Amino acid sequence: MVTVPGSAAPIGHLALVGLMGAGKTAVGRVLADRLRRRHVDLDRAITQLAGRSIGVIFHEGGESTFRDLETQSLVLQLEAGEPIVLSTGGGVLGRGENRVVLAADSIVVWLRARPETLADRVGDGVGRPLLEGRNALGVLRDLAEDRHPAYERAAKVVVDTDGLTVGQVVDAVLDALMDFGVVRPEALAGQTVDGAGGRL
């Protein structure tokens, strides 16, 4: 456990979860700036660990190889000495081991959105093997049914992101964290951060 400077409350990592298109990467980047923390994008960490893109990992080794690398990267990133903001991939809560390590030392934030909103955001699904060549809305509806219970169980904070900008979602997450007493206003960097006004 670590402590946010200026706060008596212990706080670990912040982990953003949600389906593809939820805005985990864009929100994570701005949130990390506001909290003066390092931002880690788990998909990016996986590609660095594997030396291959997500698409190539799926293509060559299938989803199980990807999931093994995902767990390995998750454990490595959460071992970081300082508290980070972690943008996960949409399937991260599928494995029990991942749920256990996240529950141990992270506050989980679920960025929720309607499947229609997500489908609009992911467009043709390029770079996302689970969507390529398939009907994105249909896949996202199925995944929502499958995964929402796990997101719900894991999350301390839930933000409905439909129609919000990146900055509005960041503010909503920070407000919730302040309500829980895990972030104090004076711990925040007040400046406007690039990308905060963008659409999710």
Comparing CB distances to ligand S3P, the nearer of 130 and 164 is 130
Shortest distance (Å) from residue 83 CB to ligand S3P: 21
Shortest distance (Å) from residue 8 CB to ligand S3P: 34
> The sheet that has 106-112: what strands, in order across it?
38-41, 84-87, 13-17, 106-112, 157-160
Interface contacts to ligand S3P, rule CB under 6 A: 20, 24, 43, 54, 89-91, 128-130
Comparing CB distances to ligand S3P, the nearer of 36 and 59 is 59
Comparing CB distances to ligand S3P, the nearer of 4 and 90 is 90
How many Cα atoms occupy the beta-carbon half-sphere of 192 within 13 Å?
6
Shortest distance (Å) from residue 103 CB to ligand S3P: 19
Residue nearest to ligand S3P (CB): 89
Q: Which residues contact 64 (CB under 8 A, 6 or more apart)?
A: none
Comparing CB distances to ligand S3P, the nearer of 139 and 183 is 139
* 162 secondary structure, DSSP code: T
| Residue position matching structure tokens 């489908």 | 119
Shortest distance (Å) from residue 19 CB to ligand S3P: 6
Contact indicator for 98, 73 with CB cutoff of 8 Å: no
Task: For CA atoms 17, 18, 20, 22, give the dihedral sign.
Answer: negative
